[in-house]
Amino acid sequence: GNSVTQMEGPVTLSEEAFLTINCTYTATGYPSLFWYVQYPGEGLQLLLKATKADDKGSNKGFEATYRKETTSFHLEKGSVQVSDSAVYFCALRKGQAGTALIFGKGTTLSVSS
């Protein structure tokens, strides 16, 4: 079946460090891929997305590239800030089999100054 696997957290970094959160997926066909973020006390917000192979999604300094050959969609940021502390969810969505999002378990990021 379709699934998303994220690296286990929590991830603890110092301000200005480089961030990578790994995400791999299993799906037939060509799903769309998403990263959602949940800041403390808030709901899920779409961070970025990519809809086809080799697309790069980017927002707020975060980037992720849709790699079909490795079935991956790793999230990266060159220099994290304290305000980036949140839970990050990788997700996929298929078109033909329904429109539900399939999420990974989430990765908690904690950035200290």
Partner 1 sequence: EAGVTQFPSHSVIEKGQTVTLRCDPISGHDNLYWYRRVMGKEIKFLLHFVKESKQDESGMPNNRFLAERTGGTYSTLKVQPAELEDSGVYFCASSQGGGSNQPQHFGDGTRLSIL
Q: Cβ of residue 78: shortest distance to partner 1, in angstroms? A: 24
Applying the rule CB under 8 A, the residues between 41 and 80 that interact with partner 1 are: 42-46, 49, 51
Size of the site for partner 1 (CB under 8 A): 25
**Three-state secondary structure string covering 12-52:** EEECCCCEEECEEEECCCCCEEEEEEECCCCCEEEEEEECC
DSSP 3-state percent helix, strand, coil across the chain (nearest 5): 5, 50, 45
Question: Does the footprint of partner 1 cover residue 36 (CB under 8 A)?
Answer: yes
Q: Cβ of residue 93: shortest distance to partner 1, in angstroms? A: 5
Applying the rule CB under 8 A, the residues between 88 and 107 that interact with partner 1 are: 89, 93-95, 98-106
Q: Cβ of residue 73: shortest distance to partner 1, in angstroms? A: 14
Query: Are the C-beta atoms of residues 47 and 59 closer than 8 Å to each other?
Result: yes
Non-local (6+) Cβ contacts of 62 within 8 A are 35, 47, 48, 75, 76, 77
Q: Which residues bind partner 1 (CB under 8 A)?
A: 4, 31-32, 34, 36, 42-46, 49, 51, 89, 93-95, 98-106
